[in-house]
Amino acid sequence: MWYWLFKYIFMGPLLSLLGRPKVEGLEHVPASGAVILASNHLAVADSFFLPLVVRRRITFLAKAEYFTGTGLKGWFTRWFYSVSGQVPIDRTDADAAQAALDTAKRLLDEGKLLGMYPEGTRSPDGRLYKGKTGLARLALETGIPVIPVAMIGTDVVNPPGSKMWHFGRVTVRFGKPMDFTRFEGLGGNRFIERAVIDEVMYELMGLSGQEYVDIYAASVKDGTQQPPAEDPAERISETMAG
């Protein structure tokens, strides 16, 4: 109940005012049945605008830290993420990764619409970063179709690092479902998993218009790798397109 109250009464009208969301390709999302929504990740607002435009309830896998805070703030954060359909996962080690995969399988077995961010974290600079293979393994082991989703403009409404939200124009663009059943039985093969997730990221690049960076976003955030300089031609084309 809380999920729908937040969507249609408490937050939906405000989000619609701030982002004036435009939706493209919503017909690709089925009215029922298990589906994986694979989205790029520009801002925290992605997890609000995507559910806003989809009629079905979306369940996201959220980092466990959102559910372990203390005090009044910790209680409110835990309550908010719980009632808004987030399921906690531990991302600290290999066992945790398997537990997250098992949780995702359970949700899909229940026919849920599962939202995932294959980059694993928000983009540090607005570009599209290398996808992690967990989503690919999930798709291969379950045979569930993957729908790529491009979030555009959420980082303008909700700039990373800022507590202030701004007026802007958000576009949510859904691609056609991607079927990987041709690789049936090959889940666990790291080369196939890499090929599958790269195919998903290629679709996201086309839908979002983002420049692709072939390193993990997390490695940029923790300082273990430096991203290449942005391509000026990409920036110029983005400016002209806007």
Query: In which domain, by residue range, is 200 found?
Result: 18-53+111-222
Average pLDDT over residues 72-81: 81
Q: Which amino acid is at 40?
A: N
In sequence order, the 6+-apart residues with CB closer than 8 A to the CB of 119 are: 40, 41, 128, 129, 130, 131, 132, 216, 217
Look at residue 76 and tell me if it is in a domain.
no
pLDDT of 88 above 80: no
pLDDT band per the 50, 70, 90 thresholds, residue 228: confident
How many Cα atoms within 13 Å fall on the side-chain side of residue 172? 23
Provide the pLDDT for residue 3: 80
Look at residue 87 and tell me if it is in a domain.
no
Look at residue 174 and tell me if it is in a domain.
yes
Look at residue 139 and tell me if it is in a domain.
yes
Taking CA 166 as the corner, what is the angle to CA 29 and CA 40, rounded to the nearest 5 degrees? 35
- Between 241 and 18, the more confident residue is 18
Look at residue 123 and tell me if it is in a domain.
yes
- CA-to-CA separations, 113 to 25, 100, 109, 146, 227, in angstroms, rounded: 16, 16, 10, 10, 33
CA 205 to chain centre: 14
Provide the pLDDT for residue 92: 62
pLDDT band per the 50, 70, 90 thresholds, residue 240: very low
Look at residue 79 and tell me if it is in a domain.
no
Question: pLDDT by residue (tens digit) across 150-198?
Answer: 999 999 999 988 888 999 999 999 999 999 999 988 888 999 999 999 9
pLDDT of 232 above 90: no
- CA-to-CA separations, 82 to 63, 66, 70, 172, in angstroms, rounded: 12, 9, 15, 24
Look at residue 28 and tell me if it is in a domain.
yes
Number of domains in the chain: 1
- Share of residues in the chain with pLDDT > 70 (%): 92
> Taking all residues of the chain, what is their mean pLDDT, rounded to a whole number?
89
Look at residue 104 and tell me if it is in a domain.
no
Three-state DSSP at 58 gives strand
Task: Give the residues across from 114 on adjacent strands.
Answer: 36, 59
Question: pLDDT by residue (tens digit) across 91-125?
Answer: 666 666 787 888 899 999 999 999 999 999 999 99
Average pLDDT over residues 34-50: 95
CATH number at residue 195: 3.40.1130.10
